[in-house]
Structure 1
Amino acid sequence: MNISNILLVSPMYKELKALIEKEAPHKTFRFVPEEELTQEDLSWADALVSFNLKADYDYSTVKWVHSLGSGVDRFLHKKEWNEEVLLTRTICSFGQRIAEYCLSYILKDLQLHDRFQEQQQHKNWQQCTPKLIGEQKVLVYGTGEIGQMIAKVFSGLGADVYGVSLSGTKKEYFHGVMKHESHFFRLNEMNYIINTVPLTEQTEKLFDGVIFNQLSNAGFINVGRGASVDEEALLQALTEKRVGFAVLDVFEQEPLPENNPLWSHPRVQITPHISAVTTPNEGAACFLETLKNIDENKPLTNKVDTKKGY
């Protein structure tokens, strides 16, 4: 594949320009913010590098699209994709970042931070023993790179980590991996549920009443995609305490509207899609490595299966 003209569209385009241009002097680049992007730019380009563009663009005119994020649903979900166009994604420290994000909120729960903070406000000295992470069962939806890193971190601390995937294929660090259709009987055993799945037709509204109704005061963490959760079903599960608390980093509509009831729910923690941020250095490094592999006709470990959506 001959890639000469590369269009990079990102809010951090200036930082990326400083990191990329000097490393690929044999290529011609255009670095622009989305508000300055034109169809002429896309017609000029052999490759587009971007992530979460707000408008719908015609990507069929380029040879290669590279996502600066791990997810690619903005390019694929409910859209037609020209199979002749290569799609790749960024692989960097996302797994480690997300694993530490999840660990922080689960440790907060196990160490009773909220209870002791409330007791402090009332000057109430009342001992209560925190729980151990090694006594917990954690269920991770999605057993890819990110899910495996979560499993590695939590199993390393002694937790029993189970996975749910389309294939049910056994993966390292998981105590067991189940297919979605056969995992429901294990749900009421789980202390924590972590969602890492990408957004596809199969995962849209995956977390609905069928799943939530099987839980027993479990913690729910969503670091996958917001549209994979039925918010009404989640709110109902919180009311019924089938879900003890929810930590939500992603939402179907972002920014989350001010009138959304999740903002004010006492057992919901909201973060603004920061569990796996692409830094300029990491984004540039993965792009340059992918470009080098394309130029040298080497295998691409970050190539997206556009039929599967990840």
Structure 2
Amino acid sequence: MNIHNILVAGSYEKEFQEQLPAETSQSFRFKQDNDITEEDLSWADAYVGFKPCRGFRLADLKWVHSFNAGVNNYLEIDGWKEYEILLTRTVCSFGQRISEYCLSYVLRDLQYHHYFEGKQREKKWAPKTPQMVKDQTIVIFGTGEIGQEAAKVFSSLGATVYGVSQSGRQKEYFHKVAKTSSAGTLAAQADWIISTLPLTKETNKLFDRTFFSHLNGAAFINVGRGHTVDEQALIEALNSRKVRFAVLDVLETEPLPETSGLWERDDIVITPHISAVTELNEAIACFLDTLKRIKNNDAIPNRVDVMKGY
């Protein structure tokens, strides 16, 4: 594939210049999303950005690269199969960031931070023995780069880590990987459920009443996509104690409206989609590495299967 003209959605020329090789055969055009014209899209072989621009179309493109790990906003555009366009995504420190995010909330719970903070305010000396990660059973939905990194972190601390994926294919750092269709048995054993799932037709509202009915007081962490969770079903599961508490970095509606009852629950922690913030310099480095791989006809590990959605 020959890539000559690259359209970048965003005023990132300075950041690109800092990483571009001294000599490059590609021409770059940097424009804000709302300023991109039909002429720009006709000119471009490749489009790079966090999201599709206004009037985005695939007809003249050969390659689209997302600065995000998720690509569902691009896959909402019709024509991927028809035009056979390469779609790639950013893979950088997301796995480490998300793993540290999840670990922080697991340790917060096992070390009884909330309990001891309350006792300090009461000026009461009230010992309570913390639990240990090695005694936890953790079920991670999604066994790609991010899920594997999380499994590596938790298994290194002695936890029993299971994985769930569409294929059920075994992966390193997981004690076992099961298919999504048979995840109920694993979920029933879980102390923690962690979702790193992308949003696809198969994962939309995957965590529903039926799923939560399998749980026995597990904690639930979602760092994947908000629409994978039926939020009303989650609330019911919290009320019935099927779910002990939830940590939600992603939600169905973002930003979460002030009127949402989720804000007021003591058994939910909400963070504003920050578990894996994209560092622009990392995203550019990933793009340039992908460009080099395309030029050299090398394998492209961050290529998206547009039929699967990830």
Aligned residue in 2 for 1:50: 49
Structure 2 CA distance, aligned partners of 1:198 and 1:240?
27
Structure 2 gap segments, 5+ residues each = none
Alpha-carbon shift at residue 20 of structure 1 (Å)? 4.3
Say if 2:65 is the partner of 1:66. Answer: yes
Aligned residue in 2 for 1:145: 145
Alpha-carbon shift at residue 56 of structure 1 (Å)? 6.2
Say if 2:277 is the partner of 1:286. Answer: no
Alpha-carbon shift at residue 79 of structure 1 (Å)? 4.2
Aligned residue in 1 for 2:74: 75
Alpha-carbon shift at residue 37 of structure 1 (Å)? 2.3
Aligned residue in 2 for 1:127: 127
Alpha-carbon shift at residue 137 of structure 1 (Å)? 0.1
Aligned residue in 2 for 1:271: 271
Structure 2 CA distance, aligned partners of 1:66 and 1:87?
6
| 8 A contact 2:198–2:225 mirrored in 1 | yes
Alpha-carbon shift at residue 170 of structure 1 (Å)? 1.2
| 8 A contact 1:15–1:280 mirrored in 2 | no
Structure 2 CA distance, aligned partners of 1:236 and 1:307?
33
Aligned residue in 1 for 2:302: 302
Cα deviation, 1:37-94, whole Å, max 9, x if unaligned, reads 2232212111000123475621232110001111111111474424421111111111
| 8 A contact 2:195–2:224 mirrored in 1 | yes
| 8 A contact 1:4–1:46 mirrored in 2 | yes
TM-score with structure 1 setting the length: 0.94
SS in 2 for 1:284: helix
Q: From the superposition, tell whether residues 24 and 223 of structure 1 become closer, same or farther in structure 2 (CA, over 3 Å).
A: farther
Aligned residue in 2 for 1:171: 171
Q: From the superposition, tell whether residues 288 and 24 of structure 1 become closer, same or farther in structure 2 (CA, over 3 Å).
A: farther
| 8 A contact 1:13–1:33 mirrored in 2 | no
Structure 2 CA distance, aligned partners of 1:43 and 1:21?
24
Structure 2 CA distance, aligned partners of 1:190 and 1:54?
42
Aligned residue in 2 for 1:35: 34
Q: From the superposition, tell whether residues 52 and 255 of structure 1 become closer, same or farther in structure 2 (CA, over 3 Å).
A: farther
Alpha-carbon shift at residue 270 of structure 1 (Å)? 1.2
| 8 A contact 1:17–1:31 mirrored in 2 | no
Which has the higher mean CA deviation after the structures are superposed, 52-61 or 202-211? 52-61
Question: In the comparison of the two structures, how many residue pairs are matched?
Answer: 309
Q: From the superposition, tell whether residues 105 and 188 of structure 1 become closer, same or farther in structure 2 (CA, over 3 Å).
A: same
Alpha-carbon shift at residue 115 of structure 1 (Å)? 0.9
| 8 A contact 1:110–1:130 mirrored in 2 | yes
Q: From the superposition, tell whether residues 160 and 74 of structure 1 become closer, same or farther in structure 2 (CA, over 3 Å).
A: same
Alpha-carbon shift at residue 99 of structure 1 (Å)? 0.7
Cα deviation, 1:204-244, whole Å, max 9, x if unaligned, reads 00000111111122111101111100010111111112111
